[in-house]
């Protein structure tokens, strides 16, 4: 593939095919599946794409219904509900919904609309009713007129009840939201009747990933920000590595001085489509040497933007990692439909990303990292340094999004060109569009 003839190209000819000499010097190329490209193996077209789905207000309205009100949504983890009676709320303002998730006295996790049956007051909140809250309680009580509910949502107390007309307990229970748990992740589905069970939705391959030992990596850091870009654009930024040599040049690139090559294309050895979800598996820290760098501080703390050098012993990783069986497995990045990501790293820590729409052109981004308990102070320092460097990398990813959003929205052009390394993001936009089309067809739009 490293066609030498293109290196001798005429300066006046645009360089739009083949590799430059510098690129060819560092790249590691992997075999592609039978049709000759990942994109075709996903059953996707290879033509230009439109990004109208990332700003059009009408599309956004339909996407809420077609995608977010019909899909299983990951809204938290079981560790947020450590004991019976503990709860948290999740604000989905773009759906005008506040979800109350609570572990009942029977240990069951249930989800309800966070709204009182009397006059509609929001039930669980702390200082500000539109902010998320968490805690523990024996009953759910309303701040307005004191109605109370059991943790399974049944009504238990109405203040001055004789003044009411024909109250029936069965009418007054809190409205339930479909709720299920997979791999310790709490999912809800806002559909009246979910079209698939959570496990059907996840497909058998992802179902197996349930055996991954998240609980052995309980040191959790949580970050949030709001980004002036459609939620899908940030998903896109984490489902290709094509941007890495440019966006992350300073943090991640091979320093010219150390390796003699710069701007080496990063190649993903495996992409797979599983239902509406996608998997990218890469070598991570075991990837192409030509794209690794070690600054003095990384050498000191034995960690860098890709994690700690040491790998904590957490026993078996279950039977769900590296389903494609790639050599030198480093990272599984599961892009879960519609708006969450789970990344499992071979040096035994994990990430999740969540992207919650706020408007057609704005979203809230959440990043969670889980490490194993350190056994020494040096391990603790390595975790801290890895975290600092990862955060800088993620900040760089977020930086470009506002500019992308502005460019797309300008409609200065309406066709854009994706390469085979960008198959995962092409897939996301296609699946979203297919869901919106199906919804529109149903509604006769």
Partner 1 sequence: MRNTTMTTEALLPPEFADLEPFAADWVLPTLEERLQRRLVTPMVELHAFYDAVFPRAEAAMTYLDQFDVNDVPETARNLMVLLYSLSVVSVATEVFSSQRDPNAGTTWINEVSEPAT
- The footprint of Fe ion (CB under 5 A) covers 397
| ω into 53 cis (within 30 of 0) | no
Q: Provide, rounded to whole angstroms, the least separation between the CB of residue 84 and ligand FES.
A: 24
Residue 71 has what DSSP assignment? S
Closer by beta carbon to ligand FES, 149 or else 439: 149
Closer by beta carbon to Fe ion, 102 or else 267: 267
Task: Give the Cα separation of 150 and 157 in Å (integer).
Answer: 9
User: DSSP labels for 268-296?
Assistant: -SEEEEETTEEEEEE-GGGS-GGG----H
208, 286, 378, 440: which one contacts partner 1 (CB under 8 A)?
378
Q: Provide, rounded to whole angstroms, the least separation between the CB of residue 143 and ligand FES.
A: 7
Give yes or no for residue 381 binding partner 1 (CB under 8 A). yes
Closer by beta carbon to partner 1, 232 or else 385: 385
251, 406, 409, 419: which one contacts partner 1 (CB under 8 A)?
251
Q: Provide, rounded to whole angstroms, the least separation between the CB of residue 251 and partner 1.
A: 6
Give yes or no for residue 80 binding partner 1 (CB under 8 A). no
Look up residue 43 and give its two tokens: 């059953």
Give yes or no for residue 250 binding partner 1 (CB under 8 A). yes
Binding mask 137-166 for ligand FES (x = CB under 6 A): -----x-xxxx-------------------
Give yes or no for residue 121 binding ligand FES (CB under 6 A). yes
Binding mask 296-325 for partner 1 (x = CB under 8 A): xx--xx------------------------
In the complex, which residue's CB is closest to Fe ion?
397
Q: Provide, rounded to whole angstroms, the least separation between the CB of residue 262 and partner 1.
A: 16
Give yes or no for residue 380 binding partner 1 (CB under 8 A). yes
| 21 alpha carbon, distance to own chain's centre | 36
Give yes or no for residue 387 binding partner 1 (CB under 8 A). yes
**Under a CB-based contact definition with an 8 Å cutoff, are residues 232 and 55 in contact?**
no
- Residues 6 or more apart from 37 whose CB is under 8 A from it? 46, 420, 423
Buried b (16+ CB within 10 A) or exposed e, 82-115: eeeebbbbbbbebbebbbbbbbbeeeebbbbbbb
Cα atoms found within 13 Å of the Cα of residue 396, Cβ hemisphere only: 17
Could you list the residues that contact ligand FES (CB under 6 A)? 116, 118-119, 121, 142, 144-147
């Amino acid at each position: 593939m490293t066609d030498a003839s293109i290196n001798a190209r005429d300066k006046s000819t645009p360089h739009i095919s083949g590799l430059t000499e510098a690129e060819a010097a560092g790249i590691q190329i992997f075999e592609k599946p039978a049709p000759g490209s990942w994109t075709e193996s996903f059953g996707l077209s290879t033509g230009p794409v439109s990004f109208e789905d990332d700003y059009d207000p009408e599309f956004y309205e339909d996407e809420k219904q077609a995608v977010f009100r019909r899909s299983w949504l990951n809204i938290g983890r079981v560790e947020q509900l450590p004991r019976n009676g503990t709860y948290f709320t999740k604000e989905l303002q773009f759906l005008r919904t506040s979800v109350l998730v609570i572990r009942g006295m029977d240990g069951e996790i249930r989800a309800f609309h966070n709204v009182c049956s009397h006059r509609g007051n929001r039930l669980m909140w702390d200082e500000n009713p539109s902010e998320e809250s968490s805690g523990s309680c024996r009953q759910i009580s309303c701040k307005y007129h004191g109605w109370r509910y059991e943790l399974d949502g049944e009504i238990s107390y109405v203040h001055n009840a004789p003044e009411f007309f024909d109250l029936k307990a069965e009418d007054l229970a809190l409205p339930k939201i479909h709720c299920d748990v997979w791999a310790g992740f709490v999912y809800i589905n806002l559909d009246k009747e979910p079209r698939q069970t959570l496990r059907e939705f996840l497909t058998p391959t992802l179902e197996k990933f349930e055996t991954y030992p998240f609980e052995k990596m309980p040191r959790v850091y949580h970050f949030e920000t709001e980004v002036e870009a459609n939620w899908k654009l940030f998903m896109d930024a984490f489902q290709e590595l094509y941007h890495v040599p440019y966006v992350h040049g300073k943090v991640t690139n091979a320093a010219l001085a150390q390796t003699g090559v710069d701007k080496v294309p990063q190649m993903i050895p495996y992409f797979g489509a599983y239902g509406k979800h996608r998997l990218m598996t890469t070598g991570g820290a075991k990837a192409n040497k030509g794209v690794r760098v070690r600054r003095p501080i990384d050498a000191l703390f034995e960690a860098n933007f890709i994690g700690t050098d040491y790998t904590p012993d957490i026993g078996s990783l279950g039977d769900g990692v590296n389903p494609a069986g790639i050599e030198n497995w480093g990272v599984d990045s599961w892009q879960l439909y519609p708006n969450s990501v789970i990344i499992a790293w071979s040096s035994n820590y994990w990430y999740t990303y969540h992207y919650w729409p706020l408007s057609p052109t704005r979203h809230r981004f959440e990043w969670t990292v889980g490490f194993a308990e350190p056994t020494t102070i040096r391990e603790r320092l390595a975790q801290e340094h890895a975290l600092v460097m990862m955060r800088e990398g993620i900040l760089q990813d977020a930086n470009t999004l506002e500019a992308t959003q502005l460019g797309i929205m300008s409609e200065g052009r309406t066709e854009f060109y994706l390469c085979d390394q960008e198959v995962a993001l092409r897939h996301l936009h296609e699946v979203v569009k297919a869901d919106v089309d199906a919804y529109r067809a149903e509604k006769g739009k």
